Chains A and B, each alone.
Chain A
Amino acid sequence: MSILKVNTIQDKGGNAIISSDGSGTLTLGNDALKNTPAFKYVKTSRQTVSDNTYTKVTFDTEILDTDSAVSSSTFTVPTGKGGQYFIGANLYTVASGVTRYIYGNLYITVNGTFRSQRNADFRNSYNTYTHNLLVSDVLDLSAGDTIEIQGRINDSTSSPHFDGDTTNYQTYFYGFRLIGA
C-alpha cells in the first residue's frame, strides 16, 4: 500500500486540483471536478405574449449562477466549460380566459434551434385556461453555445401570457454540468 500525505495537489503547472485543510475539509480547485456552471433563475412577473407566436421566456431573478453565465435570460457556456449539461425549465402558461387555451409548447433552444420539447394540446375541446409545462434534457454543449427557453400559447380569443410570481414559483430555468460525462 502506497500512501501520499499532502494537503494540496497541483499539476506541474502549479494549478491547484484539490486542497485540504488537514482536517478533511476539502476544496476543489479544478472545475472538471464540479457540477458547475450551475444556475437557477425564476420569473416573478407576468410576460404578455403574442398569440400563437414563439417567444423567448424572460427570467428576471437570479437564485444561483456560479459562473455568471446567464445574461438577459440566455445561458452561454463559458470558455473551457463544454460538456454534458442537465438543463430544465418550467413555464406556467395562461390563456386570456377560461376555455380559451387551445395548445401550448415549451422548447429548450440551442443556438436558436429548437431541441427539447414539451407540449399540451387541447384543440379538440379547448375548455382549459392554464397549463404548466416542464421540460428537461441532457445536452452536449460546447463553449459559446447559447441556451434559451421559448414558449408559445395558442389562445382562441386574444393575448395570453407567461406567468411569474413570488409565491408559487411556477416559471423557472435551471441547469448544471455533469461531471466526467
Chain B
Amino acid sequence: MSTLEVNNIKDTGSNSLISSDGSGTFTINNGVLKSTPYFQAYLNTSQTGLSDGVDTKIIFDSETFDADSVYDTSNGRFTPNQAGKYFVYAQGYLLGPGTDSVNTALIRMYKNGTQIARNIWYNGTEWVRYTSVTVQQIVDMNGSSDYIEIYAQQDTGGANWEIHGNSIASTFFGAYKLIGA
C-alpha cells in the first residue's frame, strides 16, 4: 500500500484538477470530472390561448438551477458550452379548455430545429381535460452551437389549449452531462 498525502493536485501547467481542504472536503476543479453543465427550468406562468393541433415551443420561464447559464428563459433553448453526451428530459402538463376537450397530446424534443424524440398520448374518440407527457433522451452536443428545444401540441377539436405553468414545476425541462461517455 502506497499513500500520497496532498491537498491539491495540479497538472504541470498549474491547472488544478482536484483539491481538498485537508478535512476531506473535496473540490473538483476540472469540468471533465463533473456532470456539468446542468440545468433545470420550469414553466411558472402558463402559455395560454394556443391553437388547436399546432406545435408550440415551451418557453420555460423560471430556473431551478443553471450555474453555467446554459438555458435561456427568453427563447427556451438549452445550449451547453461543453461538448459531450447529455441526458435531457422534459415534461409538459397540457390542459384543455374544458372537461372532455382533449384527445391527443404530445411533446417533442428538437435538436437544432430537427425532431429527435417525441412522446404522444392519443386517446382516440375519448376526450379528457388534461394530461402530462414526458420525453427523455441521451443527446450528443458539440458544446458550441448545438441547442435543444421542447415543443408541445394538443388536439382539442378546435378550441384553444394551454401549457400549464405553476410554482411546483409540473412542466419542466432539464439536462446534465454524462461523464466520460
**Residues of A participating in the B interface, judged by any CB pair closer than 8 Å:** 1-7, 9, 12, 18, 20-28, 31, 33-36, 38, 40, 63-64, 66, 86, 88, 90, 92, 98-99, 101, 122, 125-132, 134, 136, 167-170, 172, 174, 176, 179
Contact = CB atoms under 8 A, between A and B. Distances in A.
B176 to A, nearest CB: 9
Contact of A169 (B11, B15, B115): B115
Given A20-B13, A33-B179, A132-B118, 7 more contacts: A7-B12, A28-B33, A31-B180, A64-B140, A64-B181, A101-B124, A174-B136
Contacts of B9: 3-4, 6, 9
Contacts of A12: 1-2
Nearest to A18: B17
For chain B, the bracket of interface size reads: 35 or more
B121 interface: yes
A90 B136 CA distance: 8
Interface in B1-45: 1-2, 4-15, 17-18, 30, 32-33, 35
Contact of B181 (A25, A88, A168, A176): A176
B111 to A, nearest CB: 11
Contacts of B126: 122, 125, 127-128
B134 interface: yes
A90 B117 contact: yes
A169 B122 CA distance: 16
B135 interface: yes
B121 A5 contact: no
A167 B115 contact: yes
B41 to A, nearest CB: 20
B11 to A, nearest CB: 4
B124 A127 contact: yes
Nearest to B134: A134
Given A2-B5, A129-B124, A26 B178 contact: no
Contacts of B121: 131-132
Contacts of A179: 35, 179
A30 to B, nearest CB: 9
Question: What are the 6 tightest A-B residue pairs by CB atom distance, in nearest-first order?
Answer: A34-B180, A24-B15, A20-B11, A128-B124, A35-B178, A38-B181
A174 B134 CA distance: 15
Nearest to A31: B180
Nearest to A169: B117
Contact of B122 (A22, A34, A130, A174): A130
A84 B41 CA distance: 26
A131 B124 CA distance: 10
Task: Among B32, B138, B179, find the residue whose CB has the most chain A CB atoms closer than 10 A.
Answer: B138
Contacts of A35: 35, 178-181
Given A4-B6, A35-B179, A176 B87 contact: yes
B166 interface: no
Nearest to B139: A40
Contact of B11 (A6, A131, A132, A136): A6
Contacts of B18: 18
B181 A34 contact: yes
A125 to B, nearest CB: 6
B153 to A, nearest CB: 12
Given A98-B125, A128-B123, A132-B119, A22 B180 contact: no
Contacts of B129: none
